[in-house]
A and B are shown apart, each in its own frame.
Chain A
């Protein structure tokens, strides 16, 4: 199947539940070869957006709006689209009574692009055995098995809704290793939603950030480093930083080197030179932007 360079194109896309906009007029594209993070708090619209992309939620398109996945309509051309796109929903389950090898047999019958051979090869990299019953596997192993099964589909786009939720750090690491090593080949793309922003930041090539259904950030990590400026500075100049309308200001964790200032201020765009001179430029972190752009106070940075 030939695919367009943009695996996903969304323009003026909304999804309404009754009168409520779960996804509110978003536009974005996902080119090939990308690892895209879909970030947002609970209820921000992440799962709904993903469901619309795989044809499980009815989109409302504004004038001139469109939603195509692999160049196809997710609802009217769903069967064809699912030959090239795979999806693990946040509520994904594998049949508990089955053995892993039974699930492979089942998948072989269900999905024309599924390779049982590749699934077995991928499972060899995990601690899951073919003869294991799903109900005897730990949560981390189930998620690993699920990823191995989905990655054995010869698809171009993978959509993962909160895949590592509830997993311990070892399982999360194993999951991401398998994903990067076995899926990310520069041609295929993956869209991953998560809360664990810090952990996933270095894996991403792009970020889509949702706040109450609206897309508040749609940027590549490379452009993010250019557009946002974070300054580490002494608390004594905090007032001057504040006067320049930063996105966010917080007290930094004490560092061992003791060379960095004890406050960090993040600006959207480059602040005036006299401010740049008062601090040391540091890498703006995705967590900072998440805090600044989604405005929910319960996050772990200390604000003032």
Chain B
């Protein structure tokens, strides 16, 4: 079963998870989101929690409600998510990573850029 940690409310963790999937194009811009029921049974969550997660993504401008048809991924959502994520990586993750690399004495020349 999917495990949820105690650092954040579950709806926020689901919103983050769905945002990460949108970043991978699942589903892609303009496509329909899975239904509340489908998500609830996939992740074994209360439908109210799923609603709240979708609401959060809607508030961030990533999803739009098409009357009578359900939720769709906003055009351009992926690009905007990518921009936000890049910004977050450079501001938050990279300084920590750089600090750790420095402590471990790993230089740029030792980092493998191509995946094997």
Contact = CB atoms under 8 A, between A and B. Distances in A.
B7 A283 contact: yes
Interface residues of B, number: 20
Contacts of A199: 1
Contacts of B49: 202, 221
A58 interface: no
A230 interface: yes
A204 interface: yes
A115 to B, nearest CB: 19
A221 B40 CA distance: 16
B44 A230 contact: no
10 contacts: A173-B44, A181-B38, A185-B37, A186-B47, A202-B46, A203-B45, A205-B46, A282-B6, A283-B6, A283-B8
B45 A184 contact: no
B4 A205 contact: no
Contacts of A176: 41, 44
Contacts of B44: 173, 176-177, 180, 202-203
B40 A181 contact: yes
A294 interface: no
A199 B47 CA distance: 16
A258 B9 CA distance: 20
B46 A204 contact: yes
Given A177-B41, A203-B44, 10 more contacts: A176-B44, A185-B37, A202-B43, A202-B44, A202-B45, A202-B46, A204-B46, A221-B46, A230-B6, A232-B6
Shortest 7 CB-CB contacts between residues of A and residues of B: A181-B41, A180-B41, A282-B6, A283-B6, A177-B41, A180-B40, A205-B46
Nearest to B5: A283
A225 B40 contact: no
Interface string B5-31: 111111000000000000000000000
